[in-house]
Structure 1
């Protein structure tokens, strides 16, 4: 089978993205961010889908132009089927189906979370199989055993809220603007991570729970501001650093346990929260301590992007894993 040239589309949440990949090499990765959500303090699904409709044609056009690839050179069109917001997914799915039908080329549906993991195969160094991948985002927290490019097993996950939500909700309670997670990370660099202690639920096996820490932070702030209305402003950096340390320590505790139990030293992180500087730095420290080979994606491949959809589609194309025109978005798509 010849090395394919594929157009990939990502529209699972509030990033409209298109990428072109040829022979496993990403030639372009265009991302349009939706600023409309900032005034609401979070993603508004209806506004997200409308923004995707406005952005998708310009983004796809730019991706093809940057890659210097004509539509007639494409061998397939890939898109994110899920998980994600239904309206947002529907825009990308409908566009991809129409584009593929018009060119009479195959259609490839991609699992968004698997694509986050396969982002590690866009650039060197690439992890060897099997490896463990901690996938962390606003909607997911999972430990995945990756056996091959297309064979993955979730061995641990959050039983309630995702760690990304814990970051964002804490930031909102502290008065940080949207998106709060990255700002909490930035502020934490100036603080003392041992200033305050916050508990996190201890779940069995490799599972997580992050709903408790949000409640803990809420009551902590209520108690401290009751006696000192300026407490948050005076201690913002220390609070951010302490919460961040707690969340990272919790994430890596279960990852260490899984790596030991399975005898695996190839360890990776993926997803939007993998851009967190504290997590990246702590993981490098753990790599030395436990003699891991650690893989951390470039920043542009951490958050939602079409390049990761493209690399997943590349391996699916080689396997002959194609979708039909009857495929529909699946907001709660599982592995």
Structure 2
């Protein structure tokens, strides 16, 4: 079994990665920006069915500074770099999000390389693949890269440039360090605590009746547990070194498809979920003036379909049916 570092263990995906590693028998350590968050990490793991005690080490390290990273990586066989810098508000300019993402990724990779880590699996995103392109009829694959010069939002730009920087590092000063990246589509699944992915926030707003109409766009969705499983496969499979892997559970879904699943699986408990789709022209008009919709402006009316055929073929990864994930997401949010 391996000694594995997971960056960002208090986060939604980070927690599920820790759970998956513990279940597989690995020794795990994880980083948090502030050790005051350790009780939250352990509470989320208990909610996920694990109480690792001394089997889990929680260490302080912040992506915005060098301190703590070499100690965190020392003695590890692998690193799952899941953490990503977060902002509490809208960035004033792109660099406010891009710089911390790139610099933080390079800090982790430098520490891993110096510590003699064998492989890093980096959580990237579909945002590094599917944005800034002309409309197309074929699914996006790992060969595609987001065009950062196409007026995309800072989040997608930060994910793209951070992943590019990672690949440049292992091709240059980090030679000898193996890298694989996992590029999930919108992540859903059971919540372990109050911190969860933005894509779950959309489901929560639908259930609460806070979304008067469904926005017209389609993207892929995937279960957080399956994304964690793919990280472990990318960590252990020899063929995964040097590869990118899209994580998505089947074809893309329009928001009206999500709403239909919620109504079908939850019945009366989904009574507040809208069924009407907002006209595209109205949605585009609102996106110009409503800050909450600005990040979606470029994909309104678009279908960002992607395929995980590579992960299924090379690694034997099999995601669960997305209908089950959507239902379990809703059940979890309602319970929370």
The TM-score normalised by the length of structure 2 is 0.28
Flag the structure with more relative contact order, 1 or 2, with Cα contacts below 8 A and sequence separation at least 6: 1
**Larger-Rg structure:** 1
Q: Return the TM-score normalized by structure 1.
A: 0.28
